[in-house]
Amino acid sequence: MNDNIIAYQGVEGAYSHLACKKAFPNSITIACESFTDAMKLVELGTANLAMIPVENSTAGRVEEIYRLIPRLSLYIIEEHYEPVKHCLLGLKGSTINDIKYVSSHPQALAQCHKNITDLNFIAQAKFDTAGSAKEISKLQNISHGAIASSLAAKLYNLEILNNNFGDLEGNVTRFIVLSKDIKTPKYESNSEYITSLVFQVRDIPAALYKALGGFATNSVNLIKLESYSLPGSMQVSQFHIDIDAHPDEKNLVLALEELTFFAKEIKYMGVYKKSEYRIEQI
């Protein structure tokens, strides 16, 4: 297996594809129809890594991912933040004045709504951004444009008519990199880490309050807390937490000891360094 093979959901030119190229410039990428397909390639050993989006600063979390990850035997080894810069694309030689119809994923259309309205374009929702770019390259109709990445423009030989077509600045997607092998970095005092895990609480009064209380009493910061019902159940909830610490730090050791008294089915999803983007933003 080539250690540089990385799978992602979408077609060539998708923002996930762009994230792969930014984070792993020399990687071989595999486009997959679904998140599950991308993760399965890693489980099967066909790919070494999977680049999976988990949240966007504008659209919020990708809830499907939080349901999928605990059911797979994969681990988070890295996080990657990719700025989403929507480009308005058209056929080579076209101009903005030629465009009447613009297609893209519904989220991208929503994030470019003001510009679409101001230019009196007719928006057409498609399955994904890069797929829209691929479609107009085949359609060869000068009145049709697409909203997609600069990588999609390059791959499908399209003109970038506007390289910053989104309505808002600072649109960023957080990705996690999944591996079949757990790769816990050695603790270094000058680095910052995230420990991710999922758990269920025991059926006792105030179980969640007590389970999380150990983090407060030991001064451990929780970066994220997500909850969702398990498949086939309307009652049992599972919780995903991202912890601002490394498992070798004494405070986290004590907090996790308390967690075990009030939680069950604790599963470690990975320990990884904070991305430089996260640290810079803070």
Instruction: Give the 3-state DSSP-derived string for 143-159, with helices as H, strands as E and coil as C.
Output: CEEEEECHHHHHHCCCE
Average pLDDT (209-234) is: 86
Distance CA 14, CA 2 (A): 22
Average pLDDT of the chain to the nearest whole number: 92
The count of residues in the chain is 282
Average pLDDT (75-86) is: 95
Residues taking part in catalysis? 173, 175
The CATH classification number of 5-83+171-179 equals 3.40.190.10
pTM equals 0.89
Within 13 Å of residue 273, how many CA atoms lie on the same side as its CB?
11
Instruction: Give the 3-state DSSP-derived string for 56-97, with helices as H, strands as E and coil as C.
Output: ECCCEECHHHHHHHHHCCCEEEEEEEEECCCEEEECCCCCHH
Among 132-136, 181-185, 248-252, name the one with the lowest average pLDDT.
Answer: 181-185
Kindly state the tokens that stand for 279.
């640290």
Considering the four listed CATH numbers 3.40.50.720, 3.50.50.60, 3.40.190.10, 1.10.3720.10, the one that applies to the domain covering 87-162 is 3.40.190.10
Q: Where are the domains of the chain?
A: 5-83+171-179, 87-162, 193-281
Domains 5-83+171-179 and 87-162 share a fold: yes
Model pLDDT, residue 121: 98
The CATH classification number of 193-281 equals 3.30.70.260
Determine the residue type at 3: D
| Residue 2 pLDDT > 50 | no
Model pLDDT, residue 60: 81
